Amino acid sequence: MSTPIVNRLNVPMPKIGIRPTVDGRRGGIRESLEDITMNMAHAVAKLLSENIRHSNGLPVECVIADSCIGGVAEAAQTAEKFAREGVGVSITVTPSWCYPLETMDTDPLIPKAIWGFNGTDRPGAVYLAAVLAAHNQKGLPAFGIYGKDVQDFGDDSIPADVQEKLIRFAKAGLAVATIRGKAYLSLGSVSMGIAGCIADESFFHEYLGMRNEYVDMTEFVRRMERGIYDKEEYEKALRWVKEHCREGEDVNPDHLKRTREQKDRDWETVVKMTLIARDLMVGNPKLAEMGYGEEALGHHAIAAGFQGQRQWTDHYPNGDFMEAILTSSFDWNGIREPYIMSTENDALNAVTMLLGHLLTDAAQIFADVRTYWSPEAVKRVTGKELEGMAAGGIIHLINSGPAALDGTGQQTKDGAPAMKPFWEITGEEVEKCLQVTKWCPAVDFFRGGGFSTDFQTKGGMPVTMARINLVKGLGPVLQLAEGYTVDIPQDVHDILDQRTNQTWPTTWFVPNLTGEGVFKDVYSVMNNWGSNHCALSYGHIGADLITLASMLRIPVSMHNVPAEKCFRPSAWSAFGTADAEGADFRACAAYGPLYAGGRGR
């Protein structure tokens, strides 16, 4: 049930550039350092190539400078090579002193880090401090990597703490480089007055380097009525749906229940919607063969959102099937990279999902941050007490059914429930995800019919809940909460679920509490969440999100990541060390959006 690894947007993936810098003085000094420095570069390239993939499964390529960089001429030659090779991330390595202004990377748009070897024979750490100061003075933020323990000169191993920072920086930097130049596709407009649906041009262009594309939802009607989709794939998809997608309970009152004939037509419609939405995002060469050359190109969209409510769903079947299948790691064509498709065209949640996907390579759960259930409220309503990780209260993450089927938790890693990169998923795991998912006829306020996914996320998964919000006068801010999915007794779940909508997928979430501030209790996390939606990523990736946000100059307003895990550019400490959160806001404001020429707001 596998499909080949492909680059579906048909543009080269960004590469990582490795810059070995060296003391340029000839006559014995440079010569004694050349091999050692180049060995460092190759060791870093090997580490990153073996531990990181692009989210589409393709291997990450590292480009090493043709020679060590001892001065400005070699720095310029390396910059030209990197531009020619499509480098999107820069890592400088050295075991020794070098001339900072002559050897530094001055490209303002490429995320950059410097690893200065912690050794006593040649002062790599002195160069690191000096070149970071140069970067800071020039307004070119760079990440400093300095190992905790002194190494022997010529030791080409990479200490564990340095490895962690190199991988964290590289993965976040690749995410920045990957989204640059891509598009967000709005399928429709603002859904039910939700401000997050406004695809803010300034945010997408200045902070992310992305385009905005817009398509009215009537394009779905045009393509369905005129047959602008792959007919053979449609028949294949419909057969797959009939075999693998089990219908669930219809909870509508009798006078609103749709007939079997209507439901069968709904299935046909939602399958066509799925094909059309995908084609709108990334194109489809099959359409060119049918005479639709323009439609075959797509909109170069790395993420999209579907408005749906209400103009569409008052008349046509809802988009839940389309959103759930596209954002899952599999469909009728096999196992493949998830698409990023946001419900209700919540563009800000789509961006958060996109960042989570690029960091984890796995599918994302789209959800409402619906309800905080206190232990007292649960006891009053169900007569039962919450226990274990849920004892302090739980947050009900639930939406109308667009969550990726990976969110069932039926995939496993080391014997525990997980959401994995598609290349690690087995056909058996796909079947398990499908078996525990029911497709329930849409509830009454979806007047045009359709189907919603109904499942319960398995407890025990480490996850990170995140959201980007736009605030007038401040700009974008990121908030996140690391925690776990939890299981609660089935009878308790049934009572709580039926008070909302039992035909929708549920994830019970408990954040990791620190005992301080917003994370003093579960209620405070819910009470301080900045919007009605969130994206849920597998794993505790808060530190990775913080690193990525700093590259984009997006401050983090709320997180529960240990201080020692937070990795930001060196310049951030100049904005204050006693209050890292405040320093983050001040640094982001001072530097301004990444793609706005470095201007402050």
Tens-place pLDDT, residues 399-456: 988 999 999 999 999 999 999 999 999 999 999 999 999 999 998 889 999 999 999 9
Amino acid 120: pLDDT: 66
Pick out the chain residues at pLDDT < 50. 598-601
The answer to whether 196 and 346 have CB atoms below 8 angstroms apart is yes
Structure tokens at 181: 């130049």
Amino acid 151: pLDDT: 78
The answer to whether 10 and 82 have CB atoms below 8 angstroms apart is no
| φ/ψ (deg, to 5) at 571 | -60, -25
Distance of CA 504 to the CA centre of its chain: 23
Q: Which distant-in-sequence residues (6+ apart) come within 8 Å of 101 by Cβ?
A: 134
Distance of CA 477 to the CA centre of its chain: 15
- Whole-model pTM? 0.97
Q: Which residues are annotated as a binding site?
A: 344, 368, 533
Amino acid 272: pLDDT: 98
Q: Give the catalytic positions in this structure.
A: 344, 368
In the numeric block, the tokens 């995410």 are attached to 175
Q: Identify the structural domains of the chain with CATH numbers, from first to last.
A: 15-179 (3.40.50.1070), 183-567 (3.20.14.10), 571-601 (no CATH)
Q: In whole angstroms, give the CA distance from residue 397 to residue 473.
A: 30
Q: In whole angstroms, give the CA distance from residue 16 to residue 48.
A: 9
Amino acid 599: pLDDT: 42
Q: Which residues are annotated as a binding site for Mn(2+)?
A: 344, 368, 533
Torsion of CA 359, 365, 368, 369, to 10 degrees: -60
The answer to whether 488 and 566 have CB atoms below 8 angstroms apart is no
Amino acid 501: pLDDT: 86
Amino acid 156: pLDDT: 83
Amino acid 226: pLDDT: 98
